[in-house]
Amino acid sequence: MARLFGTDGVRGLANGDLTPELAVSVAVAAARVLIESDRSHQPLAIVGRDPRASGEMLEAAVVAGLTSAGANVVRVGVLPTPAVAYLVGQANADLGVMLSASHNPMPDNGIKLFAAGGHKLPDELEQRIEAAIADGHGLIGRPTGAGIGRVHDLLDGGEHYVKHLVASVPHSLAGIKVVVDCANGAASEVGPVAYQEAGAEVIAIHAQPDGLNINDNCGSTHLEAVRAAVLAEGAALGLAHDGDADRCLAVTASGEVVDGDQIMAILALAMRDAGTLTGDTLVATVMSNLGLRLAMKQAGIRLLETKVGDRYVLEELQNGKLALGGEQSGHIVMPAYATTGDGVLTGLHLMARMAETGQSLADLAAVVHKLPQELINVRVADRQAGAAAPAVQTAVAQAERELGETGRVLLRPSGTEQLVRVMVEAATQEQARAVAERIADEVRTASPA
């Protein structure tokens, strides 16, 4: 059986490859695996979703699967992914289920699972759930009578989540005017409320979800709208979330994009100054710009690198009991307040640093001088052979000598496709492109598609 779980749960075309039947199977298997892990009590699951239309169908399937396996279910409705994770911890639940495909288009959906405490499932549990689905585990011996799980609705989960977020903010946001692009997604209600309660003047856009318009030319993957609104409104900044609000990107008062690398740098310096940046260490992936590494080195902050994927950032944070990590895409994790990436939390603390220092977002972001970056995806017959070929490795070594400390080369096989990704950073865009194309040509020669 092919791997069912990707780097962030199970994802696919809703009612296509992600069917209600599959959702039931995932829910039954997840509940049964947890029951086997701890038979001392009847399991409790928290179930939330983003506003896309298929979430209603998949929620019904997941709830049916969980209760049929003997788990009690609390439905929390439309809330951000980090809100569901937070409520799992607050309720001492055994399992959390978030139905969302994050930044993907509306027709897609996904099933994200959280273990007790609101943490993403470890690989071992995911593998056990996959095995249970494959061999039909859970389809026999289901409870009957009083053993069947019950369903309840939590109507004020969003209020608890907002209160938690606002309590984390170290400075009032009074005087800051912000445009918030909610992507017609899960943060459309709680996001603006949290920013307002923290003191900001909020102009919300794309905050009218109808089940069909999530991520539709808006949010963190389409920044044109928030940039235009910031300029039109004379706002101090703009924030853009994705469909389930675990991401946050920003734009300055003049409309310049501030990405996850720059946001991490701003927050790292704020936390260092406050004495809350554990070990003066930041965790980022290998895809973060060299400019972030240089800025952190100059500030005396250690940068730990992980593989691409927020789950690897989370693992490093947990293993080292560290306080801040994230990705260039805007997944920022602050373990003191959240067990996963939280876009609204990120936006609040970004504005808190502005309030504390009196500096504009542009001034704060200037600490990172981003190097030009060129990324080429090379289609190959064998991604491992293409990346490991001697001629390719020679070309990489030559490029690294040429770039010295003013650039870098990252060569990595795709985890899911027959692609080799060639990423080069250099002093100029022209140099980055030339070096990347030279290496890409060697990859193509080594393993023609």
Residues in the annotated binding site for Mg(2+): 102, 242, 244, 246
Q: Measure the CA–CA gap between 56 and 398, rounded to whole angstroms.
A: 54
DSSP E strands, 286-340: 302-306, 325-326, 332-333
CA distances from 49 to 62, 63, 420 (A): 11, 12, 34
Q: Which residues contact 82 (CB under 8 A, 6 or more apart)?
A: 245, 246, 338, 339, 340, 341, 342, 343, 344, 345
What type of residue is 213? N
Of 48, 239, 63, nearest to 160 (Cα)? 48
> C-alpha dihedral over 313, 314, 316, 318, to 10 degrees?
160
- Is there a catalytic annotation at residue 102? yes
- Judge contact between 226 and 197, C-beta under 8 A: no
Phi-psi region of 9 (alpha: psi -120 to 50; beta: other; left: phi over 0): left
- Judge contact between 373 and 364, C-beta under 8 A: no
Catalytic residue among 25, 68, 100, 102: 102
Which positions are annotated as active-site residues? 102
